[in-house]
Amino acid sequence: MRTKIVAGNWKMNMKWVDAKSLLLGINQYVNTHKPNCEVIVCPPYPYLDNATEILSGKVQVGSQNISEYEKGAYTGEISAEILNSFDVSYAIVGHSERRSIFKESNEQIGEKVKTAIKNNINTIICCGETLEERQSDNHKKIVKEQLEAALADVSDKDIANQVIAYEPVWAIGTGETASPAQAQEMHQFIRREILESKYGNDLSDKVRILYGGSVKPGNAEELFSKPDIDGGLIGGASLKEDDFASIINAASRTQ
């Protein structure tokens, strides 16, 4: 049985005063309701240290990016070693905004995954097609290329601790969600074809595959009820305490 995950990707939002109050609220919700799922919060870099203290261990902390370089003269970058020294457990890697705006390549994302794992940071590896790629029926091919590159150096020993997030670009921040059937179809393809051909049946069954793209309280439960959808990577709705709590509750109910 895979434990579901609800991860909040705050992106570049929230002044510290608001971020602190949201962290305190999430911490209280999780400690009171003890949901039956893992909860991860990925705030902007400067808040990570405070976040690990406020969240008292029940909620894990992740970064939104990570450098592919180990250390040295890379002004503005944050290494896996630095993140690890702040008790950061996860790093989001290859988010579509990093791919499209910051031109991260599949190979670069593979390097980031490799460096993160080497430094004991688990990765949330994002993949997903654009609207044009879906309309031209290339969505599975694109996701396969993205994941094969991202997982190029991930061994059998490490794969079960990595998380995959399928986030169709056309569903991110648009209010448009992939239907539960569309999402399930892609998640099943990721597990049964991409992961299984590299890691075999048993290990593929252990990998959590999250859905991301306009997840909200009103659609979370239906999405999370699908057999290969193991929770969500939440953008906009993770900035509102009540909405995030309600999505955590949906994951816990469908566990």
Catalytic residue among 68, 95, 97, 133: 95
What residues line the site for ligand 13P (CB under 6 A)?
A: 9, 95, 167, 172-173, 212-215, 233-237
Distance CA(60)–CA(66), nearest Å, equals 16
The β-bridge partners of 163 are: 124, 208
Shortest distance, CB of residue 200 to ligand 13P, whole angstroms?
29
Shortest Å, Cβ 192 to ligand 13P? 24
Can 145 be counted among the known catalytic residues?
Answer: no
Q: Catalytic: which of 38, 104, 167, 187? A: 167
* CB atoms closer than 10 angstroms to residue 155: 9
| Distance in Å, CB of 155 to ligand 13P, minimum | 26
Nearer to ligand 13P, 154 or 233 (CB): 233
Interatomic CA distance for residues 244 and 240, integer angstroms: 6
Per the annotation, the verdict on 95 as an active-site residue is yes
Provide the pairing of β-strand 90-93 with 163-166: unpaired
CA distance 63 to 154: 19
Nearer to ligand 13P, 99 or 199 (CB): 99
Closer Cβ to ligand 13P, 92 or 207, answer by number? 92
Half-sphere exposure of 78 (CA within 13 A, CB side): 19
Q: Catalogue the active-site residues.
A: 95, 167
